[in-house]
A and B are shown apart, each in its own frame.
Chain A
């Protein structure tokens, strides 16, 4: 019942505890990368005073003669085939505008959306008028990137039954660079909840549905109360993901699962305390290193 007050403490740098063999060359905007003019400049760099200077903060990546700087904290840049979780911001004439933490709102065309029942037909005027019945402002959807326009805006589609409107659950927003690219982003974790790791940094945690509903196509939201045990698992997963993000660890199903198991001795609300966070992420890191080596 009592409030806990504490003084701010400086954050410990991660490299002290790790002891990595190869140190990455980190730069901040304005740092000189190299004075050698034989390199081609890639993203995140520019030429000033005959030197190659970085324009974003991050590690320098070099592929033969191409030097680029990969920014650590950016907005999401869409690639074809990525899975994203987005929130509907606008309903327009034949499409929806979806917010995906990128520079421009993404677009979901009516023709790229699955009709309920899985029918395949040309979209009519009645479908256009009934758009708000499918997806309203504020709804969350999971979708795949179909194409990227020249200005960087992303076009989405939900042409498979595993995509569609999301029901009850918790959304966590993380920097997009921390989500690892994997074969599948839909995971059913053995602890009792399922998670969708959107490439755009939106992570959706939801209770595992008991039976897969093939016919609905994900439009009818299940508004029944979720059981307390499921809720505890979801809250614990959410806190674990937040602690992994504060310690800048890559997010994928194994790391989330190890972090969950490391956090079991603690109470759910204690995981948000800085010292507990460091402890469980340290343990997760150890287990991941053991698993690799």
Chain B
């Protein structure tokens, strides 16, 4: 992640503040910053969203293309994630600097969506073993202000909600070859149901307590953080630990309760 240099005294101030449940900008340990969500921002995609969480700015575009299903899942379509950390976010991302972080985020997104209930993949299938919809989800990091994973998961959910996939009809010729016909009406499309798409909640451990929605300065003071992706019904789909520090098992249980309540 992009890091910011802090003096020892500043770190001590932040850690003591978190112990007393008053962070630098007046929030409590479990308060989020204000989120701005905008959908349908990019016109030549099937769906897009832009999320601003404090200084973090994420742009997600979803493109639906036809392709062949995977061999082990012939009745389903699938999602492909690609994360681009643009050099606009911080100078550290210049050139190939942002690739590591990009692959880490993409792998996390794959893990989150790697189950049956998040997105109805069967609805993406056009004809089994031959044609299906592949959704290419491209994430662009415009500005990095802390708490990347949460913002990205909200943006992906919003973009998937905004995605319009045109309806297709499969026509059979006399010789048996199949012809795909796309409907011309731009409003005749299927929309994905995103009720079960999970959102990531990141908890950073600072001192003895954990905080939600850490800024860059707070992330610099924290040694470890726990990433959990939960759906609105409270089903946990993925869990990951980031950072060099160690987490007490009891504190992990406390954090899970906070995650589920969010």
Contact = CB atoms under 8 A, between A and B. Distances in A.
Contacts of A235: 22-26
Contacts of A273: 34
A236 B26 contact: yes
Contact of B10 (A6, A168, A274): A168
A225 B30 CA distance: 21
B149 to A, nearest CB: 14
Interface stretch (B1-9, B90-98, B125-133): B1-9
B219 to A, nearest CB: 15
A185 interface: no
B232 to A, nearest CB: 12
Contacts of A232: 22, 26
A171 B10 contact: yes
A170 interface: yes
A169 B19 CA distance: 16
B9 A239 contact: no
Given A166-B9, A167-B9, A169-B9, A5 B24 contact: no
B168 to A, nearest CB: 33
B52 interface: yes
B180 interface: no
A289 interface: no
B163 to A, nearest CB: 19
Interface residues on A, range: 35 or more
A168 B9 CA distance: 5
B9 to A, nearest CB: 5
Interface stretch (A26-34, A51-59, A134-142, A194-202): A134-142
Contacts of A130: none
Contact of B32 (A4, A222, A242): A4
A4 B52 CA distance: 12
Interface string B1-44: 00001111110110011011011111110111111111000000
B91 to A, nearest CB: 13
B58 to A, nearest CB: 13
Nearest to B20: A228
B37 A7 contact: yes
Contacts of A167: 9
A271 to B, nearest CB: 7
A101 to B, nearest CB: 13
Contacts of A7: 36-38
Interface in A37-76: none
A125 interface: no
Interface string A156-175: 00000000001111110000
B73 interface: no
Contacts of B35: 3-6
B262 A231 contact: no
Contact of B7 (A89, A139, A225, A228): A139
A8 B9 CA distance: 36
B25 A1 contact: no
A48 B169 CA distance: 60
A223 B9 contact: yes
B196 to A, nearest CB: 18
Contact of B13 (A1, A4, A136, A170): A170
Contacts of B52: 8
A97 interface: no
B34 A1 contact: no
B132 to A, nearest CB: 32
A268 interface: yes
B177 interface: no
B26 A271 contact: yes
B12 A170 contact: no
A171 B217 CA distance: 10
Contacts of B20: 228, 231
Contact of B12 (A4, A137, A223): A223
A171 B34 CA distance: 21
Interface in A113-148: 136-140
Contacts of B22: 228, 231-232, 235
Given A4-B32, A225-B16, A272-B33, A166 B7 contact: yes
A139 B6 CA distance: 7
A231 B21 CA distance: 11
18 contacts: A4-B35, A7-B37, A8-B52, A89-B5, A136-B7, A170-B24, A223-B8, A223-B9, A225-B16, A226-B13, A226-B17, A235-B25, A239-B25, A268-B25, A269-B26, A269-B27, A272-B25, A272-B34
Interface of A: 1, 3-8, 87, 89, 136-140, 166-171, 221-223, 225-226, 228, 231-232, 235-236, 238-239, 242, 267-269, 271-274
Given A1-B31, A7-B37, A140-B10, 4 more contacts: A1-B262, A170-B13, A221-B8, A231-B17
Q: Which 5 A-B pairs have the closest CB atoms?
A: A268-B26, A235-B26, A168-B13, A138-B5, A225-B16
